[in-house]
Amino acid sequence: MAEEGQLGGYSRLAGDEEVATASGGGDYDERKLRLLGYEPQLKRNLSLLSNFAVSFSIVSVLTGITTLFGTGLQFGGPATMVYGWPIAGAMTLVVGLAMAEICSAYPTSGGLYFWSARLCSHRRWGPFASWLTGWFNIVGQWAVTTSVDFSLAQLIQVIILLSTGGNNGGGYLASKYVVIAFHAAILLSHAAINSLPITWLSFFGQFAAAWNMLGVFVLMIAVPTVATERASAKFVFTHFNTENNAGIHSNFYIFVLGLLMSQYTLTGYDASAHMTEETKNADRNGPIGIISAIGISIIVGWGYILGITFAVKDIPYLLNPDNDAGGYAIAEVFYLAFKSRYGSGIGGIICLGIVAVAIYFCGMSSVTSNSRMAYAFSRDGAMPLSSVWHKVNKHEVPINAVWLSALISLCMALPSLGSLVAFQAMVSIATIGLYIAYALPILFRVTLARKHFVPGPFNLGRYGVAVGWAAVMWVATITVLFSLPVTYPVTKDTLNYTPVAVGGLFLLVLSSWLVSARHWFKGPITNLDG
């Protein structure tokens, strides 16, 4: 890399027309990317719809709400879910707006860590800010893929259980080794799909978005309509469940814990930023992809919660591990709805299949986003064996980064064989770790870069700083709230390991910086010739 292509350890940025001119012509997106210091290497075939589809498929309300519906029922029940969802959704939209504004200024695959580097460059903190943000972002993304694909493996386990007679009818309950085998097979297929040209991924992404949208409407209408007994509107909108068997009696505390379902679901929309080097009109369509994915997810997710909750009657039974679905609450809701009407729960099993397909595409899109982040991070030399992971194949796909992301996500699921507590600690990084990565560049934008930040075409104008501070405060709040104990008394088996996992990640990143990376990692570097 030529030294004259860098400025203080960073690639030259907006305003340096000489870099763009010397590097050749090309369209607006290619010139903008060269101004940011990178020679285009990925095929730019994604439209606004395709960019949105990737993030919408990762957010996937069918995935998050279905997976943690039991948590919502346990901690507050209908009231927590019905009112907690729009609260978490509104604040997530605030975070998304703050991210979208920065994305418009710096539309690169690196996303968050590149933003942090640029926003701190005037204070010479750029390399450390980039290192910290990048590792929280990429580990958080790997954790998201792990949790999504493992939750699909668990749902397949439940579908097989119900299809073979249920928990009380001699049904087959797959062992933890079979579940991890399901997980491995799912990841293998996701890596294979992500090895295809971007045009194929664009098609699958749009199909996944349509499936999520239609699936929500089918389920929110079909399940309560089929159920012979439906909850009253009073129950859905006012019932607050305090029977949680967790030793927690404070209504506020219970409500806070129930918010986890909503906040876990509303993650992963940074994928639109990581896909900007493959998106046309990236400095506009990338930010719009972020905002639209969040906004539409909020609307359809709330409808899904309302529709399914009208089919809820007996919360303790739905959470009971002795029911037909083995305590998988939403599966029991679907199963009972059809069994009560038709004497067979096969319709409910089909509904679970609709959800399973949505989760499958969610995992596929997660690997897509993971691989682009790994590609960009290794392009800047931040990962071990960086020269391997940022290579692209003849289809302009970062093929090695794709398979690396799948392999790491498999390894992150292996602790489940020893202890689900250890696995949950790993997965907790998926929500809190990722949101910390979201908040860091926003914090730098409203503090260190407040006076020199130059917004792109999508910007919040005079409201940018206020929105940024609101986003940072929300992330700080949920980081504390989701680190609180979820069961009393607290023992080694009931301890909430979220602060341990996230704190451990921070110590690893910090120590690696102090011991080694500070001597050689200079932040994003240009790959322009000359």
pLDDT of residue 430: 78
Residue 304 lies in a domain: yes
Distance, in Å, from the CA atom of 422 to the CA atom of 492, rounded to the nearest integer, reads: 11
171: tokens are 């049904």
Residue 185 lies in a domain: yes
Q: What integer best gives the mean pLDDT of the chain? A: 87
| Length of the chain in terms of residues written | 530
Residue 6 lies in a domain: no
188 residue type, one letter: L
User: Sorting pLDDT into bands at 50, 70 and 90, what band is 529?
Assistant: low
Residue 24 lies in a domain: no
Distance, in Å, from the CA atom of 530 to the CA atom of 517, rounded to the nearest integer, reads: 26
Could you give the number of structural domains in the chain?
Answer: 1
23 residue type, one letter: S
Q: Answer yes or no: is pLDDT of 249 > 70.
A: yes
> Which is more confidently placed, 69 or 2?
69
In the DSSP assignment, the letter for residue 7 is E
319 residue type, one letter: L
pLDDT of residue 427: 67
Residue 352 lies in a domain: yes
Q: Which of 119, 485, 86 is nearest to 302 (CA)?
A: 86
Distance, in Å, from the CA atom of 436 to the CA atom of 190, rounded to the nearest integer, reads: 27
- Mean of pLDDT values over 134-144: 91
Instruction: Give Cβ neighbours of residue 298 (< 8 Å, ≥ 6 apart).
Output: 85, 86, 89, 90, 92, 93, 266
Element (H, E) at 228: none
Q: Answer yes or no: is pLDDT of 25 > 70.
A: no
In the DSSP assignment, the letter for residue 430 is I
| Residue span of the structural domain in which 209 resides | 44-419+430-479
By percentage, how much of the chain surpasses pLDDT 90?
A: 54
pLDDT tens, 30-53?
Answer: 888 888 888 887 788 888 988 998
pLDDT of residue 380: 84
Q: Answer yes or no: is pLDDT of 216 > 80.
A: yes
pLDDT tens, 446-487?
Answer: 999 888 899 999 999 999 999 999 999 999 999 998 888 888
Residue 468 lies in a domain: yes
Helices 126-163, 176-193: axis angle to 10 degrees equals 120
Question: DSSP per residue over 28-79, as a string?
Answer: HHHHHHHHTT----S---B-HHHHHHHHHHHHTHHHHHHHHHHHHHHTBTHH
Residue 214 lies in a domain: yes
Residue 265 burial class via C-beta count within 10 angstroms: exposed 0-12, middle 13-18, buried 19 and up: buried
Residue 194 lies in a domain: yes
Q: Answer yes or no: is pLDDT of 5 > 50.
A: no
CATH number of the domain to which 292 belongs? 1.20.1740.10
Which residues on adjacent β-strands are paired with residue 7?
Answer: 10
Q: Is 231 left (phi over 0), alpha (psi -120 to 50) or beta?
A: beta
To 10 degrees, the CA torsion angle through 492, 495, 500, 501?
100
Contact of 183 with 28, CB cutoff 8 Å = no
pLDDT tens, 285-336?
Answer: 999 999 999 999 999 999 999 999 999 989 999 999 999 999 999 999 999 9
